[in-house]
Amino acid sequence: MNIGILGLGLIGGSLGLDLRSHGHYVFGVSRQESTCTKAIALGSVDEASVNMNLLTAVEVVFICTPIGLIIPTIEQLITHLPANVVITDVGSVKTPIVKAISPLWTNFIGGHPMAGTAESGIEAAQRHLFVDRPYVLTPTATTPPEAISTVEKIVKQLGSKLYYCPPENHDRAVSWISHLPVMVSAALITACLGESDPEVLQLAKKLASSGFRDTSRVGGGNPELGMMMAQYNQQEVLRSLHQYRHDLDELIHLIEQENWTGLEAKLKLTQSSRPEFVEDC
Ligand code: NAP
């Protein structure tokens, strides 16, 4: 199959490596000429250009630009494509993208591979990034079944675990397990920084060990990522943060009341529930 990738960074470049290894012919388009040259040299694409015209003969295009550019990029791209081309994107938030693009392009299906690293750019591209990772597709009532099955076949070749859901459910679910943890972890770090005694703060920094490493990791990551989550998934991030504040208040109340039985019951519930979210615990 002739496949296009628009935006040759971590996700686009990694996608290209695997699609080529499955025998697809991959056309890549990126913003910078130097990225196009690197993508060919690294084996992510067969051909590359800074010009969207390169994609006129593909059957499917994966949009892998930064999230804020997905909608304007597709708006520009569709002026170059015949109507039968299937477009999908890999953006980490789905509702605004699906809402904006569905009326413009019938053969569009939103997607989100739940895989990544802390790196970015074409040099960070790696093989097998998507193997055994969830890959969510968010078709709507009007998405043509052929468009769904075309993208589905490709995603299955990547070795991903395929899930379908409405875009709104995707955004709500990722807010709980991805976006809320970033905000909570960020608040943990700022709360610690709020220690008023400089000597104690210094001591806390020296004593911080594995527990703090685990719980502060996502809050200490790339600020762009947290900004993206809050901006593009604002409603759901706020909803989950309000619920989280409610749960914090409950914990405060239990401790103030010295309700150790209630606190223990809560901690037993969290202990037994965690494996439902993550397997390796
Ligand atoms: P990235 O490594 O920064 O790659 C994005 C690439 O897009 C850049 O390398 C850049 O290439 C290119 N680009 C920027 N503006 C462009 C334009 N106007 N036209 C064409 N290409 C342009 O980012 P990423 O991590 O791969 O993320 C890409 C998408 O994947 C985002 O929408 C994100 O939400 C989604 N996603 C990310 C992850 C993750 O963990 N990283 C996971 C799942 C989904 P040049 O070098 O040519 O400027």
pLDDT tens-digit profile of 97-118? 999 999 999 999 999 999 988 8
- 190 shares a domain with 158: no
- 63 shares a domain with 9: yes
Which residue among 90, 122, 170, 228 is best mutated to probe the pocket of ligand 1, counting the most ligand atoms within 8 A of its Cβ? 90
Alpha-carbon gap, residue 28 to 49, rounded angstroms: 6
Q: Which of 165, 197, 218 is the last residue of a domain?
A: 165
What digits encode the pLDDT tens for the residues 28-79?
A: 999 999 999 999 999 999 999 999 999 999 999 999 999 999 999 999 999 9
Residue 178, both tokens: 């991805």
Q: Domain of 251? A: 170-276
Q: How many angstroms is it from 234 CA to the middle of ligand 1?
A: 21
Q: Which of 165, 186, 221 is the last residue of a domain?
A: 165
Is the CB–ligand 1 distance for residue 275 below 6 Å? no
Using only the alpha carbons of the chain, give its radius of gyration. Answer: 22
- 202 shares a domain with 71: no
Q: Which of 106, 141, 165 is the last residue of a domain?
A: 165
- 65 shares a domain with 28: yes
What confidence score (pLDDT) does residue 225 get?
87
What confidence score (pLDDT) does residue 117 get?
84
- 181 shares a domain with 106: no
Answer whether residue 281 is part of any domain.
no
Answer whether residue 216 is part of any domain.
yes
Q: How many angstroms is it from 101 CA to the middle of ligand 1?
A: 18
What confidence score (pLDDT) does residue 111 get?
98
- 73 shares a domain with 206: no
- 116 shares a domain with 8: yes
- 202 shares a domain with 68: no
- Backbone φ and ψ for 259, nearest 5 degrees, come out as -90, 75
Average pLDDT over residues 183-201: 98
- 134 shares a domain with 70: yes
The yes-or-no verdict on residue 281 having pLDDT over 80 is: no
Q: How many angstroms is it from 203 CA to the middle of ligand 1?
A: 40
Residue 114, both tokens: 């739940």
The residue whose CA has the least distance to atom 4 of ligand 1 is: 9
Average pLDDT over residues 206-216: 97
Average pLDDT over residues 182-190: 98
- 195 shares a domain with 210: yes
Is the CB–ligand 1 distance for residue 221 below 6 Å? no
CA distance readout (Å), 273 to 210, 263, 277: 21, 15, 7
Ligand 1 atom closest to residue 116's alpha carbon, by position in its atom list: 40
Q: Return the percentage of the chain with pLDDT > 90, whole number.
A: 96
- 33 shares a domain with 96: yes
pTM over 0.75: yes
Answer whether residue 52 is part of any domain.
yes
- 197 shares a domain with 133: no
Report which DSSP code applies to 176.
Answer: I
CATH of residue 105: 3.40.50.720
